[in-house]
Structure 1
Amino acid sequence: MVAEKLGAKHLVNYRKTPDWADEVLKATDGKGVDIVVDVVGAGSIEQTLKATRFGGAVVLVGLLSKDPNIKVNVMQDILYGSKTLEGHLGASNKDMADELAHFIEKHDLHPQIAQVFDFEDADKALEAATNLSAPGKVVVTV
């Protein structure tokens, strides 16, 4: 598994364990994690908030799922749990994008690549990204 190779101590497969926050809470003795980076969005926000410790932070960076008619009061989870919710979509501005590019080059970072598609198959790339068919980035060559 990719996450295991990168050093993850606890792994939970959200497809096999839809209530994955319970597993996160077990792994953290009921406390939850400090920070959750949520790439899915509406489809995972309930589990994300549940897995985040009191005073923890949730960073929303993706919109891969549609609104599943969220069943819990998200506002209560955020307010009563004293949690911080931040949204980040895109690279913000040119200066920040340049700074990120410099950091990536300096530290020789390479993202996990799931699949590579030719430009002519961009529709298949979009489908792969939407279906979360493999861990990592979906790349379209131009």
Structure 2
Amino acid sequence: MKAWLLNDFGLDNLQPGETPTPTPKPGELLVKVGAVSLNFRDKAIVDGIYEPASVPKPLIPVSDAAGTVVAIGEGVTRFKVGDRVNSHLYSTWIDGAPLPDAPAHCVGMPLPGGLAEFMIIHETSAVAAPGNMTDEEASTLPIAALTAWYSLVDYADIKAGQTVLVQGTGGVSVFAVQIAKALGARVIATSSNDENLAKIAALGADALINYRKTPAWDTEALNLTDGLGADVVLDVAGGDGINQSVQATKAGGKIAQIGFLGGQTAALDLMPLIFRQTTIRGIAVGTRTSFERMNAFLNDHVIRPVIDTVYSFDQAREAYEHLTRGAFGKIVIKID
């Protein structure tokens, strides 16, 4: 089968090639991949800054895929040939509390990913793709949508009338705005780009902050909430900016620490954290059961993924380059 293979770190070392089509073992599905979508994790793996010692070479990268089951292994009962399915990043995290060894079973690293004509997905981790979405749309769900959903619903338990602050206009943030609005929350969105802020407002964001024009965006967030702060902040930046997230969160509020675009380490000012009694939780996507509940919610509220650009299979490197430049919503690669 055709596949993109990461032979060493660096985008130049991501090369098209041929590799044997896998055969499903007991409990496994062979999926003909229709489309994949890119996340910052995929770029970090290629760049060698995401657990480099754990990356097998060559690696078929990309965790988020949607496609059709074309063969099943012995004992499979949850799916049949012809079903459309999504991959699930943490393939062994089905329900309940996070698993200590979950990273060792991630699709797209160290397990082979979806940037190929076919991929293996275990039936216990596969999720039925929404029937009202194309493969391109469904491929955006496994990390970006589920991270937003798990942060807002499973962690923060957001209710109608509460306030959510979302950073940036990437995949997770765009889904967070759509989901939060469907939950009846008020949304504050931040970005350095006025054009993207206008787009996020069109999706329902109630208040906008350009953090380049307003570096003290945390103070502005307090102004927009009558001095109280947001009930939950989705922090995709990381780095020392976590201190502004603490200031922008209400007393007793929550921060979902999702990303590290601004750095993987932070000098955290403990006094505001303690006095505001803020809860910070690292969010690493979510469970398969949460994924299934999310898909039903997206269907019921007619929420469609926002896709910036769809690239062809041959344009995989161009898709990575676009991700590096930034995108509004998701970058998708069509496989089939």
1:48 corresponds to which residue?
A: 245
Q: Aligned partners of 2:315 and 2:206: how far apart in 1?
A: 36
In angstroms, what is the RMSD of aligned CA positions? 2.4
Are 1:62 and 1:89, in contact at CA under 8 Å, matched by a contact in 2?
no
Higher helix content, 1 or 2: 1
2:273 corresponds to which residue?
A: 78
Q: Aligned partners of 1:37 and 1:30: how far apart in 2?
A: 19
1:135 corresponds to which residue?
A: 328
Q: Which amino acid aligns with 2:259?
A: G
2:203 corresponds to which residue?
A: 6
Shift of 1:43: 5.7
Give the number of aligned pairs.
138
Shift of 1:54: 0.9
Shift of 1:58: 0.8
Structure 1 residues 46 and 114, CA, compared in 2 at 3 Å: closer, same or farther?
Answer: farther
Q: Which amino acid aligns with 2:310?
A: V
Shift of 1:115: 2.7
Instruction: Work out which structure has the larger RCO, using CA pairs closer than 8 Å and 6 or more positions apart in sequence.
Output: 2
Shift of 1:71: 4.4
Shift of 1:35: 1.2
2:229 corresponds to which residue?
A: 32
Q: Aligned partners of 1:76 and 1:15: how far apart in 2?
A: 26
Are 1:117 and 1:125, in contact at CA under 8 Å, matched by a contact in 2?
yes
Are 1:56 and 1:83, in contact at CA under 8 Å, matched by a contact in 2?
yes
TM-score (norm. length: structure 1): 0.77
Q: Name stretches of at least 5 consecutive residues in structure 1 with no aligned partner.
A: none
Shift of 1:81: 1.0
Structure index of larger Rg = 2
2:284 corresponds to which residue?
A: 89
1:110 corresponds to which residue?
A: 304
Shift of 1:57: 1.0
Q: Aligned partners of 1:34 and 1:81: how far apart in 2?
A: 12
